[in-house]
Amino acid sequence: MASGGGRDREIVVDGAGMVMGRLASIVAKLLMLGWKVHVVNSEKIVLSGDPTMVVNSYRRTVLGVRSHFSHKWRPKRPRTPQRLFKHAVRGMLPKNKAKGRQALSRLRVYVGVPESLKGKEVTRFPEADASRLGSTYVELGVVARQLGWRGVER
């Protein structure tokens, strides 16, 4: 991660095998410092904890919230891996201030690796690696499929 000014402050982060909360906090700090961050392999980001409990808690918050008023105005919850991760980063930014909104606009999250980023060097953060977890975990793609995400055909 070389520090420089202007346009070269861009980083591609590989999300495979990274813990979502730890990765989101690192990405949020980079965004606040002015970096443009591309996160690839978002479906392979992991959530720590018992898989059934993690999936059930996400299903409860995403699918269980209803509105008595109208189906058009119920809370919209993220269901895709890209949006689930972006929502986690958004929660760590001052989203109601201009600086936080600008920071969030510099974040790009992808399922897999897009053609435009294939040759670029990817960065991994050892402090966010799932191998440091002592317990079980579940991938974000599995949680998203339980919420209704159909995935991409490869």
Q: Which fold has domain 10-65+73-147?
A: Ribosomal Protein L13p; Chain: A; (3.90.1180)
Give the residue carrying structure tokens 């895709």.
80
Mean pLDDT on 69-91: 83
pTM of the model: 0.85
Contact 110, 42 (CB under 8 A): yes
Round to whole Å and give the CA distance between 33 and 35. Answer: 6
Round to whole Å and give the CA distance between 5 and 128. Answer: 26
Give tens-digit pLDDT for 85-126.
Answer: 999 999 999 989 999 999 999 999 999 999 999 989 999 999
Q: What is the pLDDT of residue 96?
A: 93
pLDDT confidence band for 26 (50 / 70 / 90): very high
